[in-house]
A and B are shown apart, each in its own frame.
Chain A
Amino acid sequence: MDLSARLRQGNLLPFVGIGVVAGLFAAMFGIGGGVVIVPLLMLVARMPPRMAAATSLAALILTSLIGVVRYAGTGHVDWIAAILIGIPAVVGVLIGIRFQRRLPAEWLVLGFGVLVIAIGLRLVIWG
């Protein structure tokens, strides 16, 4: 936990910066912020992979809430559809975290690399 302590003592501005960059890309390319947040937490804040993924999820509580508040009332949010896919996804997230506990950090980064490349290819091919 000394790393976490070091982060707390250190400059907190990089985190705001990572958030701004993630929000910028999310709005510009319609991708979720997590794809930007996780690599930046590992590279800039030197967070271990698992902590980066977990902290990204925590940041997404705020970003998704803000996003929904912005859209709510515009008629673009279909709550029934959100529940239909969101509730199974809650089951999925518990499964995913269970996997993650057993997965060595290197394999986690490897898997994330594959995911990031897939998203990158999608953007390059379909614009």
Chain B
Amino acid sequence: MEHGPEILALAGLAGVAAGILAGLFGVGGGIVFVPTLVFLFAFDQLDAQATSLAAIIPVALIGAWRQSGDGQIDWRAAVLMGGGAAVGVLVGAEVALRLDEATLSRVFGAILILVGGEMIVSSVRKLQAKRATPAPADGPRRP
């Protein structure tokens, strides 16, 4: 690859941003990696997705190692989900070939918007409840 220093600097910055999202929210970073590879390095979608997976490996390894030190990981759940995901990917690839992907994407996108909205509403409510009862030790608990 021959790229100017500014392209490499941008790629580095995008990498750091992807890592911060990964560390904060437990996503792999692909949401940043894939568009970065497409726009900065002119990768096609498949190359970008495959390369993004490779970039996620060190992020997931180091991130999980650090979180494990904090006692935040349920390893059994992680292994079971990883195994389940392997099955899901095989089935999903089959399904994607048979169905109208654009419509599916929109339906799934709408579900994500609802889920995200629910998360925002519930967390804002909790924050308001916290503010209303400054002594959480014996304050009334909201469901």
Interface residues of A (CB under 8 A from B): 1, 4, 7-8, 12, 15-35, 37-39, 41, 45, 47, 50-68, 71, 74, 76-101, 103, 106-127
Contacts and interface: CB of A to CB of B under 8 A. Distances in A.
Interface of B: 1, 8, 11-31, 33-34, 36-37, 41, 43, 45-47, 49-64, 66-68, 70-93, 95-96, 101-106, 108-120, 122-124, 126-127, 130
Contact of A55 (B1, B24, B73): B73
A113 B101 CA distance: 24
B70 A121 contact: no
Given A4-B74, A8-B76, A100-B24, A112 B112 contact: no
B31 A91 contact: no
Contacts of B14: 85, 88
Contacts of A100: 23-24
A34 to B, nearest CB: 3
14 contacts: A16-B80, A27-B89, A57-B63, A59-B78, A60-B60, A62-B82, A83-B55, A86-B54, A86-B55, A88-B19, A93-B22, A111-B25, A117-B112, A124-B110
